[in-house]
């Protein structure tokens, strides 16, 4: 294994973050309120994970392209946060491939997909990040006439995304910083990893990449941290439901 490959091995620690973040929405229990127009996405993400494990990268991109087409061609999803998940997973795939193939070209592609996911999440936060329950419902209701259950579930999903998207955006910055580090742009890489930690202070991958950039050894997470990660903040709806 050459020195470049050894350095890129650190990318692998980011992949678990991306997969967990990307899969959060899709692997929750599915009920009757699931939007039938995008129900196929859950199965496609499961297929993506399986193909990544099998290292069938050419097929991975076919699945991700299908996911992107599904969202872009479905009313109310063309500007959704789910597209950011698709692009984060594309970045993860390019970084994995860079372990074995043409590093320069693949890193360039990873940079573009990381920038795209970042732009998607930032635009989504500007549009939906500060809306309350009523405002969300008013905004999306014209696109969800199929069922009140589907509408209410989508409102709940967006409220959850208001909490989760900053962490997903943090992953985008982490990926971008990894690319920049391997493109010999340390100042930009530090800036990206620092921004990642501002968005998500517990981003372990970003912390370790900063350590590498500053010539320090990556730190392993303690067993306690792995078993008992800090819980995310609850949405107002979840808090009210417990009263």
Inter-residue contact 182 to 9 (CB < 8 Å):
no
Pick the range with the lowest mean pLDDT from 100-109, 128-137, 196-205: 100-109
Per-residue pLDDT, 123: 97
Per-residue pLDDT, 219: 74
Per-residue pLDDT, 90: 96
Per-residue pLDDT, 17: 44
> Rounded distance, CA 199 to CA 212, Å?
20
Inter-residue contact 114 to 179 (CB < 8 Å):
yes
pLDDT at position 116 over 70: yes
Q: Which two tokens stand for residue 48?
A: 């993506």
- pLDDT band per the 50, 70, 90 thresholds, residue 8: low
| Mean of per-residue pLDDT scores for the chain | 83
Residue 10 DSSP class = G
Which secondary structure element, helix H or strand E, spans residue 108, and what is its range?
A: helix 103-128
Q: Which of the following CATH numbers is that of domain 3-241: 1.20.120, 1.25.40, 1.10.357, 1.10.3470?
A: 1.25.40
pLDDT (tens digit per residue) in 24-44: 444 444 456 889 999 999 999
> Rounded distance, CA 215 to CA 233, Å?
33
- pLDDT band per the 50, 70, 90 thresholds, residue 218: confident
pLDDT at position 223 over 80: no
- Alpha carbon separation from 217 to 9, 74, 212, 214 (Å, rounded): 14, 46, 6, 9
Per-residue pLDDT, 188: 97
Q: Where are the domains of the chain?
A: 3-241
pLDDT (tens digit per residue) in 49-85: 999 999 999 999 999 999 999 999 998 899 999 999 9
């Amino acid at each position: 294994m050459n020195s470049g490959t050894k350095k890129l091995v650190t990318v692998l620690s980011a992949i678990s973050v991306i997969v967990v973040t990307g899969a959060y929405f899709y692997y929750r229990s599915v009920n009757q309120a699931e939007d039938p127009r995008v129900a196929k996405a859950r199965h496609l993400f499961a297929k993506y994970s399986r193909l990544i494990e099998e290292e069938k990268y050419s097929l991975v991109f076919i699945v991700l392209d299908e996911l992107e087409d599904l969202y872009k061609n479905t009313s109310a999803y063309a500007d959704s946060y789910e597209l950011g998940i698709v692009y984060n997973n594309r970045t993860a795939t390019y970084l994995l491939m860079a372990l074995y193939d043409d590093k320069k070209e693949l890193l360039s592609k990873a940079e573009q997909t990381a920038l795209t996911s970042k732009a998607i999440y930032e635009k989504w936060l500007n549009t939906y990040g500060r809306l309350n329950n009523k405002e969300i419902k008013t905004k999306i209701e014209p696109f969800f006439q199929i069922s009140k259950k589907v509408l209410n579930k989508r409102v709940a999903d967006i409220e959850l995304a208001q909490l989760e998207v900053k962490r997903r955006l943090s992953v985008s910055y982490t990926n971008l910083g990894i690319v920049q580090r391997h493109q010999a742009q340390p100042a930009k890489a530090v800036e990206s990893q620092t921004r990642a930690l501002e968005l998500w202070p517990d981003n372990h991958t970003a912390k370790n990449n900063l350590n590498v950039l500053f010539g320090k050894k990556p730190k392993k997470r303690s067993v306690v941290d792995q078993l008992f990660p800090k819980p995310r903040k609850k949405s107002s709806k979840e808090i009210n439901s417990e009263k």
